[in-house]
């Protein structure tokens, strides 16, 4: 019963408002005392801090974070939205389509969900409000566009996952690409269909606002897209093709972000120091959760939790797809109350032996789990994307608007999850083609 009690205690602490990192550490410490006694500090706590600090792959996280923080101030997003609004504005729900597209492009430049969402939200909310877009469509679109930072590489989720599962980040990035594009397509289809059926929900932009000579449009397109393409090539391309390690690629991306921000005249000392401070805070938060989650998983295994889960799965005798559905349902349910880092650190060590025993393709399972994790950004009550939006949204956009707005996108994510489950090649084809690199 002890492994089960660990989860009861953990969720109780989380519901009481204790930060997730401290909930994990406290639960692991108390239950570890029964096994290690007073040596739990040295063997578990100190050992996990040292183990986390020695993981080279995790050193990619600070450059990714500072890249996202710098890009918020770079001016790239403003130019990109201007270009997308110019080409898509006349379509049904054109501004929402531009928002999702910008979220996808920005997500492919930096894997920081909060940075992506804040940038696109600050820019697109006033424009969509001015054109009378339905508030739930505004809220849902911005939350969904921001959440793409999880599914579209480069993604911090993939970095953490790869470090725990001892997998190639490049292989995971390649596996995420097609499902990520499929998800973006599902989001766009929803917007177009809704605005065709209800044109008042997302009216097109007035022609005179975006009318200009073709030469001007092409020049704006060139200058607006090139910086984003440079960042994507610097980070994603070099990692997927094995040219650079994730840490090297993230560092190059951070340098490119600094250079582009300087070229646009936005790189000031206050901007730089603010980005460094935010990077330090976010990185420390993630690392503390990593330590807590690793310690929790270790004590859980020592208490026999791993054998308990394997015995339960064996007794159910429900086949590979049945096991997959149970694992993904656990991840989906955990997303209601836990952040993505905690989900990966708690669930993955439990699932890995099951995946190995059933001979499930590890890349396929990883992509399924990442898609399930992405839904946690949009599912209340935790729903980080909603909290990010609340920090920048005007009072007219209520929490109810946000919850109603994200639901269609959650359905689109679930459809994507089912597509990857029943058509595994969506996740495995590109990684198989990159094995020679």
Q: How many domains does the chain have?
A: 1
The 3-class secondary structure across 147-212, one letter per residue, is HHHHHCCCCHHHHHHHHHHCCCHHHHHHHHHHHHHHHHHHHHHHHHHHHHHCHHHCCCCCHHHHCC
CA–CA separation, 61 and 286 (whole Å): 9
Helix (H, G, I), strand (E, B) or coil at 146: helix
Per residue in 362-413, pLDDT (tens digit) is 999 999 999 988 887 787 766 777 877 887 788 888 888 888 999 999 999 9
CA of residue 414 relative to chain centroid, distance: 15
Provide the pLDDT for residue 111.
60
Task: Return the closest-CA partner of residue 31 out of 338, 297, 340.
Answer: 297
Provide the pLDDT for residue 414.
92
Which regions in the chain score pLDDT beneath 70?
42-44, 109-115, 209-210, 314, 339, 381-382, 435-437
Provide the pLDDT for residue 37.
75
Provide the pLDDT for residue 135.
92
What is the domain range of residue 286?
A: 2-433
Per residue in 310-327, pLDDT (tens digit) is 777 767 777 788 888 888
- Taking CA atoms, 404 is separated from 189, 390, 413, in Å, by 18, 14, 15
Provide the pLDDT for residue 437.
44
Provide the pLDDT for residue 220.
79
Provide the pLDDT for residue 97.
92
């Amino acid at each position: 019963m002890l492994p089960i009690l660990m989860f009861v205690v953990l969720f109780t602490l989380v519901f009481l408002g204790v930060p997730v990192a401290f909930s994990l550490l406290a639960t692991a410490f108390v239950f570890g005392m029964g096994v290690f006694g007073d040596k739990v500090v040295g063997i578990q706590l100190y050992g996990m801090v040292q183990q986390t600090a020695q993981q080279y792959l995790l050193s990619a996280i600070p450059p990714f974070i500072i890249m996202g923080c710098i890009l918020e101030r770079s001016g790239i997003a403003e130019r990109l939205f201007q270009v997308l609004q110019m080409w898509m504005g006349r379509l049904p729900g054109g501004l929402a389509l531009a928002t999702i597209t910008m979220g996808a492009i920005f997500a492919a430049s930096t894997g920081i969900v909060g940075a992506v969402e804040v940038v696109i939200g600050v820019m697109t909310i006033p424009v969509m409000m001015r054109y009378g877009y339905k508030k739930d469509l505004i809220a849902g679109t911005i939350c969904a566009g921001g959440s793409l930072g999880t599914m579209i590489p480069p993604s911090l989720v993939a970095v953490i996952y790869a470090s725990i599962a001892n997998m190639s980040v490049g292989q995971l990035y390649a596996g995420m690409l097609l499902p990520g594009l499929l998800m973006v397509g599902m989001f766009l289809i929803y917007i177009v269909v809704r605005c065709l059926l209800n044109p008042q929900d997302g009216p097109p932009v007035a022609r005179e606002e975006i009318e200009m000579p073709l030469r001007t449009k092409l020049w704006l397109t060139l200058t607006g897209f090139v910086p984003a393409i440079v960042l994507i090539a610097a980070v994603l391309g070099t990692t997927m093709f094995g040219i650079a390690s994730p840490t090297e690629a993230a560092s190059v991306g951070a340098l490119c972000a600094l250079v582009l921000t300087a070229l646009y005249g936005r790189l000031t000392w206050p901007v730089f120091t603010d980005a460094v401070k935010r990077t330090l805070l976010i990185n420390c938060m993630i690392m503390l959760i990593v330590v807590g989650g690793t310690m929790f998983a270790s004590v859980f295994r020592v208490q026999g939790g791993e054998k308990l889960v394997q015995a339960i799965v064996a007794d159910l005798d429900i086949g590979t797809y049945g096991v997959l559905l149970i694992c993904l349902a656990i991840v989906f349910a955990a997303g209601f109350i836990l952040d993505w880092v905690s989900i990966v650190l708690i669930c993955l060590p439990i699932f890995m032996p099951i995946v190995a025993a059933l001979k499930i393709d590890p890349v396929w399972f990883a992509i399924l789990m990442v898609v399930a994790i992405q839904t946690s950004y949009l599912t209340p009550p935790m729903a980080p994307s909603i909290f990010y939006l609340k920090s920048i949204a005007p009072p007219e956009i209520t929490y109810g608007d946000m919850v109603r707005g994200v639901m269609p996108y959650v359905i689109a994510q679930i459809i994507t999850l089912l597509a990857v489950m029943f058509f595994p090649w969506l996740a495995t084809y590109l990684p198989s083609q990159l094995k020679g690199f």
